[in-house]
Each structure stands twice: as structure tokens, then as C-alpha cells.
Structure 1
Amino acid sequence: MEFEIRAVRPEEWPAVKELRLTALQDPAAPLAFLETYEQALARPDVFWQMRAAGASHGKAARQFVAVGGDGAWLGTVVVLVEEAGAEDIFGHVVEVRQAQLVGVFVRPVARGSGITEALFSAAVEWALGIDGVTRVRLHVHEDNGRAARFYQRFGFVRTGGAVRNPGDPSKVDHEMVFRPATTG
């Protein structure tokens, strides 16, 4: 499958919106995302415009997309840079400057094609290129085994940290941190 990985562009906000709404209709969405389709659908266009603009440049966030040879958006991952002393997406104070991967989605037709690996490679490389960022993490729902297995294959390991899932406080999201394989 032919594709390119790149950052979103501000004027592409309609595609950012469409891909997010599609992701929120995926059967795994309740395990993977902190918002519902209905919540996202209710957001005004200015929200999507600001989201695309904010994730297209700068060093606070970046949204990467996989674009097929025909121009169709096949997948995405968002990187949020978390400043030490600030709150993360769960409301917990961050102890070190780090990056968090969120909003991971690949359309079913493109799964197994290498797109997820390419998106993660771009996201991790960009995050670790930001001054002061030495840690890349993510959270995975305890029942999202498919995602957890991919994250482990890519080089993420559980830290032992976990947070209550905001959508279902009887469940937890496990923290995982990127630990690249060492050679030698």
C-alpha cells in the first residue's frame, strides 16, 4: 500500500474532523478515546480549525497522518508535549517534560499495511527531537489487547502506572513508555 506520513496542515481541518468522527465510530472507540462520536460531532467548525492549526506546527502538539496515493487519509496519531509541573490529559501533574501519544487510529482497510508503524516512527522521532523531551508515553485501556500488543512490539513497556478510565472508573488505562531496543 502506497502512503506518505506527514503533519496535518491548518486548511485540512475538514479532513481532521472527518477522520476523528470515523475513528469514534470504530468498535474499539470506547476503549481508545476519551470522547464520544456525539461529543465530537457537536463541536463547532472553529474547534476543528483550531485543532488542525495547533497540531500542524510548533512544539506543543503535532498530528501526523498517513495519506494514501489517492489522497485519502488512512490513519493518524497525535503527539502532545507535556511540560513538567503541568497537568496531563487525565488531570495529573507531570513530573518531567515528556510527550504523550494519543488519538491513534488507522482505517480498517489499511491495518496491517505498516501504516501504524510508520505513524509511530514519525511521532516518536518528532517527540524526541523536542528540546528537553526524553520520555514518550501513552496509555492503553486494560481491555484493548490488540493495541497493547502493537505498542509492545513497537518498543513500549508498561511502567506499572495506571489511571482510572474516565469513561468507566471500574477500568484502568495502563501507562506505557517507549524503550527503544538496544543493539550491541
Structure 2
Amino acid sequence: MDYLVRAVRGDEWEKAREIRLAALRDPVAHLAFLDTYGAAVERPDSFWREWTEASSESGEGKVRQFVAEEPDGSWAGTITVRVERPSDGVRFGGPVKADQTHVVGVYVRPRARGTGVIDALFRAGVEWSWSLAEPVVERVRLYVHEENARAAAFYRRFGFTATGERVAVPGDRSAEEVEHELRRPASVGTGGGPGAR
């Protein structure tokens, strides 16, 4: 099946809400997300409108949500990429030491798994990260639960490597999230590089 991978549009808040709620109902959601279905379903429409506008191409450029759209207009998967700067202060995992992006909210519907959707979403997110002119991103990072072997295997296959940084899972001090990173390749210039949009 063909998919169009693109940034969300500001008026697509209902679709953004639906796919997030679907992600939080997934059997491995407890390993993949720090959010819960119960908390997300209670958020007002205004939250979803603001979130979707902020993460669209017309937003402020601090966050971008990408979706894989099927020919019928439904969304098969999504990732969100947040810009993080040292001046932002402490983020998940501790202080930010360099300009970077952080991949969160990774989800592919079961029917689309194994079709290449996740690869296409990650390519879009990473290319967007490298295309930023301000800030120039030195690395893309993400966290994966130590028990989420399927996700960790994909991240390694895509080129991410574990940094050795670990952080306790909020609400469960017996489990840890493991940081992985993808460093800017020397072949990618600064800002406006491959995949610039």
C-alpha cells in the first residue's frame, strides 16, 4: 500500500486525537508511552487543537508531528519530533547539552506494521531535524523502555545507538528508559540539507 508521509495540518486535531488514543490503547502502550489513555481521553478539544496547530508546518517550528496517510485519508502511523536546546533547561533525562531533537509519540497501527511505514516516518523526522537552520541540530535522540525489545531493534536498525544514559520510568523506579541517539553525519550540511521542507 502507498502512504504519503507529511506533517500534520493545523486543522487535523480530530485525527491527531484519534491516532493518539489508538496508540494509548495498544497492548504495549505501557512500555511505549509515559501518557495513559485515561488521561488523554479526558483532555478537552482545545488541547488537541492547540497541540495540532503547534506541531504543524504553520506552527512555531519547535515541534513537528509527521503522519503516514493512506490513500483513503486515514493515518497509518505517526511520530513527533521536538526541538530541544540547552537554554530550554532540564528536559526528560536531564539538562540538554547540545541543540538536538527528541523523537516521541512513535506509533504504527497493527495493519501497517512491517510495510515500511515506520522507516518512512523516521526518515521524515530525521531529515526535518537535519534541515533546521536555527538551531543546527547535532543529534536526534529518543528513549526506549528497557523491555521494549521490538522498538529497540528497529531503532538500532535505523542507525540509533545507545548512549549509556538511562533514566527511571516515572511512576516505576524499578524500570528504566534507555537513551539512543543518531548523530549528524558529516555528509549533511548545516541547515537546509537533504529533505529540507
Q: Does residue 178 of the first structure (1) align with residue 162 of the second (2)?
A: no
Cα distance in 2, alignment partners of residues 80 and 180 from structure 1: 16
SS in 1 for 2:88: coil
User: Number of residues paired by the alignment?
Assistant: 183
**In the superposition, relative to structure 1, how do residues 109 and 180 fare at CA in structure 2: closer, same or farther (>3 Å)?**
farther
SS in 1 for 2:21: helix
Map of 1:81-92 to 2, 5 A cutoff?
81-87=83-89, 89-90=91-92, 92=94
What's the counterpart of residue 54 of structure 2?
54
TM-score (norm 1): 0.95
Map of 1:113-124 to 2, 5 A cutoff?
113-124=115-126
Cα distance in 2, alignment partners of residues 88 and 25 from structure 1: 29
Answer with 108-117 or 83-92: which moved more.
83-92
Deviation, structure 1 residue 167 = 3.5
What's the counterpart of residue 3 of structure 1?
3
Question: Which stretches of structure 1, 4 residues or more, deviate above 3 A after TM superposition?
Answer: 179-183
Cα distance in 1, alignment partners of residues 98 and 34 from structure 2: 23
Cα distance in 1, alignment partners of residues 114 and 185 from structure 2: 22
**In the superposition, relative to structure 1, how do residues 82 and 181 fare at CA in structure 2: closer, same or farther (>3 Å)?**
closer
Conserved in 1, the CA contact under 8 Å of 2:145 and 2:178? yes
For residue 145 of structure 2, the aligned residue among 141, 145, 165 is 141
SS in 1 for 2:166: strand
Deviation, structure 1 residue 83 = 1.1
Percent sequence identity is 49
Map of 1:22-33 to 2, 5 A cutoff?
22-33=22-33
Q: Does residue 67 of the first structure (1) align with residue 69 of the second (2)?
A: yes
TM-score (norm 2): 0.88
Q: Which runs of 5+ in 1 are unaligned?
A: none
